[in-house]
Amino acid sequence: MDKNELDFITQIVTDVKPRKIIEVGTADGDSSTLALATGLYRNGTGHLDTWEINELYYNNALSFFKDNVLKQYITFHLGDFLSNSLPTEFFAEVDLVLLDGGDTDIGDGIFPVSLAIFKYVTQRVGNIDFILHDWNAGRGHYVKQYLDKLDWSTFAFKKELNSPYGIAHIKKEN
C-alpha cells in the first residue's frame, strides 16, 4: 500500500472510532496493520484483531511490533480467519473490518476469500464499516461485483481513494 492509502485507512479509523477492528491479511504488519493501530492510538481506544495465514509474515509482524507502543492495541492471530470457530460474542463489538487477504487458487480457478469473509461477517454483525483494498481489481473487486448485484438497501458507499489498486470505505446499516 502506498502512503495515501495508509493515510486514508488511518483517517477512517479516526472518524469511525471503532471499538473492535478485524483485519484479514496482516502481512508483515508494516502497512494496513500499522495504519489501523495508528488510528486506534490517535483515538486512545479500540482494539485490532488481525489474522495472517502465512507463518513467515505472522512472525515478521510480531517482530515489527515487538517494541512498538501500538502493540497494546493489537492481537495477532496465525491461521485462516474463516476456519476459526469464533463465538457470537466476539462480533458484538466489531465496528470495522479491513479486507486485504489474498485469494486462493483452488485448482479450477480463484476462490475469492475476501468475498467469503465479507459475507461471513455481514451475517454476524448489524451495523459495520468495511475498508476494502484492491477495490478496482482482484480481492476487493469480488466484493464490488457482489454488491453491484444487490439493491444496496443495507449498504452505503462512503468514499473511495483512487490509487493504483483502489480502496473503498463502505458501511452496512440495518
- Separation of alpha carbons 35 and 161, rounded Å: 15
How many angstroms separate the Cα of 163 from the Cα of each of 4, 12, 63, 96, 136? 8, 16, 29, 21, 9
pLDDT for res 105? 47
pLDDT > 70 fraction of the chain, expressed in percent and rounded: 88
- Separation of alpha carbons 161 and 169, rounded Å: 9
Higher-scoring residue by pLDDT: 139, 165: 165
Q: Coil, strand, or helix at residue 102?
A: coil
On whether the pTM is more than 0.85, the answer is yes
Whether residue 157 is predicted with pLDDT greater than 60 in this model: the reply is yes
Q: With cut-offs at 50, 70 and 90, classify the pLDDT of residue 13.
A: very high
Residue 36 main-chain phi, psi, to 5 deg: -65, -50
pLDDT per residue as tens digits for the range 36-58:
999 999 999 999 999 998 999 99
pLDDT per residue as tens digits for the range 89-144:
889 999 999 987 555 544 444 457 778 888 888 888 888 999 988 777 666 677 77
Average pLDDT, the chain: 85
CB 122 within 8 A of CB 128: yes
pLDDT for res 103? 55
Per-domain boundaries in the chain: 3-172
CATH 3.40.50.1100 fits 3-172, yes or no: no
pLDDT for res 18? 97
pLDDT for res 14? 97
Residue 95 main-chain phi, psi, to 5 deg: -115, -20
Which letter, b or e, does each residue of 158-169 get, where b requires 16 or more Cβ atoms within 10 Å of its Cβ? eeebebebbbbb
Q: Where are the beta strands (DSSP E) in the chain?
A: 20-24, 47-52, 74-78, 94-99, 104-105, 110-111, 128-133, 155-161, 167-172
The total of other beta-carbon atoms located within 10 Å of residue 62's CB is 16
